[in-house]
Amino acid sequence: MPTGYRRQVFYAEFSSTRHRLHDGYLTATAADLLAADPRLRDLDVEVRFDGGVAHLTGDVADLDQLRRVRVAIGRLAGVHGVWDRVRVGGRDPVILDIGCGDCPQYPGNIGLDQRPGKAVAVVADLRNGLPVRDDSVDQIFAVHVLEHLTDYLRLVDECHRVLRPGGVLHVLSPWWRHVNAVADPTHLRFFDLQTIKGICQQPAPAGRWHPQHASCDGATVFADLVAGQPTDPTPDASHLARFFD
């Protein structure tokens, strides 16, 4: 490769027909994996795909079992994200859905938005932090939220604060090269997979973020980020190379 050359990345968007067929393929492949892998086949977990995102349901005994399933499903080619509503040790997950408006990602999510809405349980300005206790949430959805904030890193730090150890932040934002990124005049920030890498490399008092999964489908940047602890090592370079340049 010539010195100074930088690879230009372009993503091909799927048609609706291809999305539907691909989701069916991934759902069948995930079911085969759960049935065949001796580390997974005794777990009471089901997976379906929608738009390349895995949706896990079921029950597991502990967080280690859930992590095992998340990692295994995330290794399938073509997966954009791994989301779940899996009960751990008989307990339903506490899921915060920030900026949800009238459209929470799952029924039962705790909606938080700056304006009242059908799914909003807590009205709060995200620019002022999250009115939520430390280490009290299992997952947070930030779907098309961060791009609307000038200082989104403050909100990302707040998400880390309120997540329990091993909790996951699910981020979706328009890819910077797609027209959706610039068509909305309220978008203040632009995202690429390298932006997610930068978030994972940011030092933080509460601990770093570790990428469980990250992807781009030509329109949207997806990231599932695990809240690490201050004593955790920095993300391994070979693991980062799965997702980032």
Given this model, what pLDDT does residue 5 score?
Answer: 44
Q: Report the sign of the C-alpha dihedral through residues 177, 84, 169, 82, in that order.
A: negative
What is the rounded average pLDDT of the residues 116-137? Answer: 94
What is this structure's pTM? 0.93
Convert the pLDDT of each residue in 151-175 to its tens digit: 999 999 999 999 998 999 999 999 9
Which amino acid, residue 20?
Answer: R
- CA 65, CA 43: separation in Å to the nearest integer? 8
What is the rounded average pLDDT of the residues 111-116? Answer: 94
Q: Tell me which residue of 62, 29, 27, 28 sits closest to 44, measured CA to CA.
A: 62
- CA 160, CA 166: separation in Å to the nearest integer? 10
Query: What are the chain's domains?
Result: 15-91 (3.30.1340.30), 94-240 (3.40.50.150)
pLDDT band (50, 70, 90) for residue 8: low
pLDDT band (50, 70, 90) for residue 202: confident
Given this model, what pLDDT does residue 79 score?
Answer: 97
CA quadruple 21, 196, 176, 6: dihedral, nearest 10 = -100
